[in-house]
Amino acid sequence: MTALSPFDGSEVADPDRNQRLADLLLEVARTLDPGVATVLPSRLAEDPRLDAVRGVLLQKQLDVLARLQHTFDDPEKLAAAISEILPHALALSGARDERLGLVLAPTMERATEASIRKDPNTLVNILYPVMGPAIRKSISERLEDTLQGLNQALRFAFSWRGLRWRFEALRSGTSFGDVVLKHTLVFRVEHVFLIHRKAGLLLEHVAAPDAAARDPQLVSGMLTAIQDFVRDSFDEAGSTSASAIDSLRLGDLLLWCEAGPQAYLAAVIRGNPPESLRVTLRDTLADIHRELHGALADYNGDSTPLGDLATRLEPCLKKQVQAPVRKLTPIMWAFPLVLLAAVAYWWLGQYFENTRVAAYVDSLRQEPGIVVTGVERSGGAWHISGLRDPLAVRPADLLRRAKADPEHIDERWEPYVALNPTIVLRRLQASLPPLPGATLTRTGDTIRIQGGVPPDWIEKARALVRALPAGAPSVDLSGLTDVEDPEYVRLRESIQQVRVYFDSGAPDPSSGQEVALDQIAKETREILEVARRLGFSVRLAIVGHADSRGKQTTNLGLSIARAEVVRSLLRKRGVEPYLLSVRGTGTLEPLKEGEAPDDLSLNRCVTVTVVNVSE
Amino acid sequence: MMQKKICLLGAFGVGKTSLTRRFVDSIFSDAYLTTVGVKIDKKQLDVGPVAVSLVIWDIAGEDEVSAVRTSYLRGAAGYLLVIDVTRGQTLEVARSIQARVASEIGNIPFLCLLNKTDVPDWDIGAARIDALREEGWNVLRTSAKTGEGVEQAFVELAQRVLA
């Protein structure tokens, strides 16, 4: 711009020249502003000296302007001119503030996107030198982590502890390898140093509560020196500023280092840490660099601008301790023992109870006249249901025999008639009155009734057999023989031989007939008892007679009256009236034919006939 | 607390380690000097209101066989360049070291310590010392045996690096 100044250069401006220049400029002003020209008469149009003056005074500026115009008009030259100052301009803008980055970011993003869309390999080739090692390192660490888990898993796969951990993995839903690592990777991060990479100065140090601590400043310096020593000694050619010792192990102590651009983390670990700890260290270091990049770059030995680094490092002080083996107190082992005994007692009780119930159900199923249709257990009780003939054995008896607890058994039996031979036999035995001479037996599916029995008993047996439903077992009655009871026969004959005599024309017994009446009453009671024992009953038919003297009709009425009187007298002697029936024969059934006084006297009487009645 | 990395440099046997042994805090044995080539010590002092912790890298001496590892110099805020006044050639070694340090990490504050001043037979004349001063070196006289100038050397260097 100095070339444009009319006051620069070797020429010295004199007053006359300046006056001329002022006049000239006034003319220029008039040219630019016609209004001026109207006020002051312009000399431009008529003064050709003006062009000459312009040529003399502004030739340099006009040349510069021409060159600049030419540069602007020619894209190649304009690009070349800008390219010379662009890097410097960008650097100045970037150093001044972030506006340049913000302005360029969208353009850069679009350019990157377009480049990837056009040819992804370009970006791959650019990133390969950076991403390749990072990916290899990540894969390597992942493999180490996996191998670590695999080694530990194989080591404990078939041990007792392995089985327990396998169960724990099943229960918690995690992999067996993770559970093994959890139990075997016992470690503790004792110290974490954050060290400035360039100076080896300690930025921050945190330690586990009871970790033995030497001077952390000296330790961090020595760590840095050793790193430098190793780098210089063994990796001089290929070393970079970012490379650092990864890990060092001395006995149980392990040193892990994670290096960043400005600082590195060194963790002193006792034991066998998982690879995930590395991730923690790396993330912590990355966070510190991201948030304190400027402060770390400008570090001059004063840690104050870095803020509270200890809080950032403390999460790295991880540890995993082995669960202590607790010694069992008597209470602790007695309790499970008692619990185990109680469970065993309960289980055994259940087992034996179930066995007894099963035996009971089996016995029910084998019992004739019982059909078990359902057995189930719910609500702590057994529920047994089925059909039962009333003549079948009582379930309670079987239950008692099986020694099962009736409180735990709920039974529901519906009655039915069984056609099982055993039950039919029982039914016949229950229906027929027992007789000493009668026997009821079963041979296979056939029931046999044998022996000498009264005829009415035989009749009753036949009636029962006839009443059996179709499909019932056959009953053989061929072995029965008709045999009357001698006591019954004696009493029947005795009663039937008794005569109650009457005087002629009289309805009341003659004097002295009370003995006969008493005998009839007494033997009636006895024969009733015998008949009941034999399974039937008897009735007494009181038959009145009359002699042949007098009218027939009168004699018939007299005979009926005599029978009624005897019945009345028997009732008075305790014979139930329903046992007694009355009939008058008049002269139609004389006990002795003839007209002699004795014959007539014999026919004036009442006789008693014993009649069998089936019950 | 302000920390500064200080290097202790000089030819082999000039008494660097002796200078630090009595006047600084140390937890490492001298064996590190012969193995790793450096030993880290610490000196805490107050420079006016500022508490400073000088982390001293006692770097193994340079001789015909081994040279100072320049990687140990990285990040140093200043250094003490020790010369044995009874051995004149240690001054030349010191010159060599100083030149190398300047080329490696730039012109940072340093003090030249003329050590073993308690020994009467000096091998370095006043002219040579004056020449050093004329070159802009700050020269101090020290004796690890008597303690002369040692504390002053650390304080002075601390002042320079904090300036």
User: Which of A553, A543, A554, A551 lies closest to A603 in space, CA to CA?
Assistant: A543
Show the tokens assigned to A587. Answer: 């002269």
Q: What are phi and psi of A204, to 5 degrees?
A: -165, 150
pLDDT at A398 over 60: yes
Where are the extended beta strands (E) located within A198-322? 202-207, 247-250, 253-259, 263-271, 319-320
Question: Out of A218, A226, A302, whose CB is closest to B27?
Answer: A218
Which residue of chain B comes nearest to A239, CA vs CA?
Answer: B71
Report pLDDT digits (tens) over A69-101. Answer: 888 888 888 888 888 888 888 888 888 877 888
* A52 vs A351, more confident: A351
Give the pLDDT confidence score for residue A36 in this predicted structure: 60
**Contact A215/B27 with Cβ under 8 angstroms?**
yes
**Residue A324 pLDDT level (bands cut at 50, 70, 90):** low
What's domain B2-162's architecture?
3-Layer(aba) Sandwich (3.40)
CB-CB: which of A198, A214, A301 is closest to B3?
Answer: A301
Instruction: Please tell me the predicted confidence (pLDDT) of residue A45.
Output: 55
Residue among B3, B39, B69 minimizing CB distance to A232: B69
Residue A4 has pLDDT above 50, yes or no: no
Structure token digits, residue A103: 């302005």
What pLDDT does A565 receive?
Answer: 95
Pick the range with the lowest mean pLDDT from A271-280, A381-390, B146-155. A271-280
Residue B158 identity = A
Give the C-alpha distances (Å, rounded to integers) separating A2 from A9, A61, A235, A549, A591. Answer: 9, 10, 57, 199, 192
Q: How far, in Å, CA of A123 to CA of A582, rounded?
A: 139
Collapsed DSSP state (helix, strand, coil) of residue A271: strand
**CA A32 to CA A54: how far, in whole Å?**
15
User: Has residue A43 got a pLDDT over 70?
Assistant: no
Give the three-state DSSP class for A539.
strand
> How many whole angstroms separate alpha carbon A295 and alpha carbon A291?
9
HSE value, Cβ hemisphere, 13 Å, CA-based, for B107: 2
Using CB atoms, which residue from A196, A198, A222 is nearest to B40? A222
Which residue of chain A is at minimal alpha-carbon distance from B35? A229
Q: Are B83 and B91 in contact (CB under 8 A)?
A: yes
Q: Compute the nearest-CA separation of B130 from chain A (Å).
A: 33
Q: Which of B4, B36, B41 sits opposite A301 (nearest CB)?
A: B4
CB-based contact, A240 to chain B, within 8 Å: no
Share of chain A above pLDDT 70, in %: 88
Beta-bridge partner residues of A446: A443
- Token digits of residue A244: 């650092």
**Beta-carbon contacts of residue A406 (< 8 Å; ≥ 6 apart):** A396, A399
Across A48-52, A78-82, A415-419, A560-564, the highest mean pLDDT is recorded for A560-564
**Span A486-614 CATH architecture:** 2-Layer Sandwich (3.30)
Plot region of A390 (φ>0 → left; ψ -120 to 50 → alpha; else → beta) = alpha
Q: Domain extents for chain B?
A: 2-162
SS3 call for A422: helix
Triad A465, A470, A473: Cα angle to 5°: 60
| Residues A363, A401 contacting (CB under 8 angstroms) | yes
The answer to whether the Cα torsion of A222, A223, A224, A228 is positive or negative is positive
Q: Which of A197, A214, A218, A232 to mutate to test the interface with B (most CBs of B within 10 A)?
A: A218
Q: Confidence class of residue A235 from pLDDT cuts 50, 70 and 90?
A: low
Is the CB of A221 less than 8 angstroms away from the CB of B55? Answer: yes
Closest to A207 measured CA to CA, from A323, A319, A287, A296 = A319
pLDDT tens digits for A173-187? 777 777 776 676 678
Q: Which of A2-11, A322-331, A339-348, A449-458 has the lowest mean pLDDT?
A: A2-11
Count A/B contacts: CB-CB distance under 8 Å. Answer: 69
Confidence class of residue B20 from pLDDT cuts 50, 70 and 90?
Answer: confident
Architecture label for domain A332-415 = 2-Layer Sandwich (3.30)
Contact A201 B75 (CB under 8 A): yes
CATH of domain A138-231+243-320: 3.30.450.70
The per-residue pLDDT for range A505-534, each reduced to its tens digit, is 899 999 999 999 999 999 999 999 988 887
Query: What average pLDDT score do residues A108-122 get?
Result: 85
**What would the pLDDT profile of B119-131 be if each residue is shown by its tens digit?**
888 888 889 999 9
Distances (CA, A) of A313 to A47, A203, A308, A403: 86, 11, 9, 75
Provide the pLDDT for residue A1: 36
Given pLDDT bands bounded at 50, 70 and 90, which one contains residue A11?
A: very low
| pLDDT of A13 strictly over 60 | no
A288 vs A446: CA distance, rounded Å: 106
Partner residue opposite B40 with nearest CB, options A221, A300, A301: A221
Q: Which of A202, A222, A303 is the closest to B28 by Cβ?
A: A222
In the structure, what pLDDT confidence band is assigned to residue A44 with cuts at 50, 70 and 90?
Answer: low
- Measured at the CA of A45, the angle between CA A43 and CA A49, to 5 degrees, comes to 70
- The two tokens of residue A259 are 């290096």
Q: Collect all residues of chain B within an 8 Å Cβ-Cβ radius of residue A198.
A: 74-75
- Out of A201, A229, A302, the one facing B37 most closely (by C-beta) is A229
B60: chain A residues, CB-CB within 8 Å: none
Q: Within the 286-325 window of chain A, which residues sit less than 8 Å (CB to CB) from chain B?
A: 300-303
What is the band of A361 on the pLDDT scale with cuts at 50, 70, 90? very high
Q: Report phi then psi at B79, rounded to 5.
A: -155, 155
Between A474 and A231, the higher pLDDT residue:
A474
- Can you give the pLDDT at residue A392? 92
Mean pLDDT of A539-563: 92
- Of A320-324, A489-493, B5-9, which range is least confident? A320-324
Is residue B80 a contact partner of residue B61, using CB atoms and an 8 Å limit? no
**pLDDT given at position A243:** 62
Strands A475-482 and A446-453: parallel
Give the pairing of strands A536-544 and A605-614.
antiparallel
Phi, psi values for residue A313, rounded to 5°: -85, -25
Q: pLDDT at position A581, please?
A: 94
Contacts of B2 in chain A (CB under 8 A): 301-302
> What is the pLDDT averaged over residues A363-378?
91
Averaged pLDDT, A550-565: 93
Q: How far is B38 from chain A (nearest CA, A)?
A: 7
Contacts with B, A 213-232, CB within 8 Å: 214-215, 217-219, 221-222, 225-226, 228-229, 231-232
Judge: B28–A218 Cβ closer than 8 Å, yes or no.
Answer: yes
C-beta of residue A354 within 8 angstroms of C-beta of residue A380: no
Return all residues near A576 (Cβ < 8 A) that are at least 6 apart.
Answer: none
d(CA B41, CA B55): 6
For B68, half-sphere exposure in the C-beta direction (CA atoms, 13 angstrom radius) is 26
Adjacent-strand bridge partners of A16: none
| CATH of region A421-482 | 3.30.70
Instruction: Give residue ranges of B with CB < 8 Å to any A CB.
Output: 2-5, 25-28, 32, 36-42, 53, 55, 57, 69, 71-72, 74-77
Give the C-alpha separation, B21 to B145, whole Å: 11
Interface confidence (ipTM) of the complex:
0.87
Which residues, including other chains, have CB under 8 Å from residue A368's CB and lie 6 or more apart? A392, A418, A420, A422, A423
Q: Using an 8 Å Cβ cutoff, are A441 and A448 in contact?
A: yes
Pairing of strands A370-378, A500-501: unpaired
Residue A200 touches partner B, C-beta closer than 8 Å: yes
Quote the CA–CA distance of A282 and A316 in Å, as a whole number: 10
Judged by average pLDDT, the poorest of A8-17, A79-88, A342-351 is A8-17
**Chain B residues near residue A217 by CB distance under 8 angstroms:** 3, 42, 53, 55
Nearest to B16 by CA among B72, B83, B71: B83
Q: How far is CA A322 from CA A70, A269, A272, A337, in A?
A: 82, 15, 12, 27
List Cβ neighbours of A158 (8 Å cut-off, separation of 6 or more): none
**Low-confidence winner among A174-178, A270-274, A475-479, A608-612 (lowest mean pLDDT):** A174-178
* Tokens 């104050």 found at: A304
CB–CB contact A217 B72 (8 Å): no
Report the range out of A146-155, A232-241, A376-385, A491-500 with the highest average pLDDT.
Answer: A491-500
Say if the Cβ atoms of A228 and B42 lie within 8 Å. no
- In this structure, what token pair is assigned to residue A546? 């009359």
pLDDT of A467 > 80? The answer is yes
User: How far apart are the C-alpha atoms of B100 and B62, rounded to whole Å?
Assistant: 12
Residue A509 per-residue DSSP state: B
* Residue A221 to residue B5, Cβ atoms within 8 A: yes
- Rounded-to-integer distance, Cα A441 and Cα A428, Å: 10
The CA distance from B65 to A91, in Å, is: 46
Nearest to A599 by CA among A546, A543, A550, A557: A546
Q: Do B28 and A217 touch (CB under 8 A)?
A: no
Q: How many CB atoms lie within 10 A of CB A516?
A: 19
Residue A221 and residue B2: Cβ atoms within 8 Å?
no
Q: Specify which of A137-141, A157-161, A178-182, B136-140 reaches the highest per-range mean pLDDT.
A: B136-140
Q: What is the mean pLDDT of residues A3-21?
A: 55
DSSP label at residue B72: G
In the block, which residue shows the tokens 């370009």? A122
Between residues A1 and A522, the one the model is more confident about: A522
Q: Which of B91, B148, B90 is nearest to B118 (CA)?
A: B148
For residues A298 and A293, what is the distance between their CA atoms, to the nearest angstrom?
9
DSSP one-letter code for B71: G
Query: Is A410 in contact with A382 (CB distance < 8 Å)?
Result: yes
Considering chain A, tell me which residue range(s) the CATH 3.30.300 domain(s) occupy.
332-415
CATH 3.30.1330.60 residue ranges for chain A: 486-614
Q: To probe the interface with A, which of B24, B32, B55, B157 has the most A CB atoms within 10 Å?
A: B55
pLDDT at residue A567 tops 90: yes
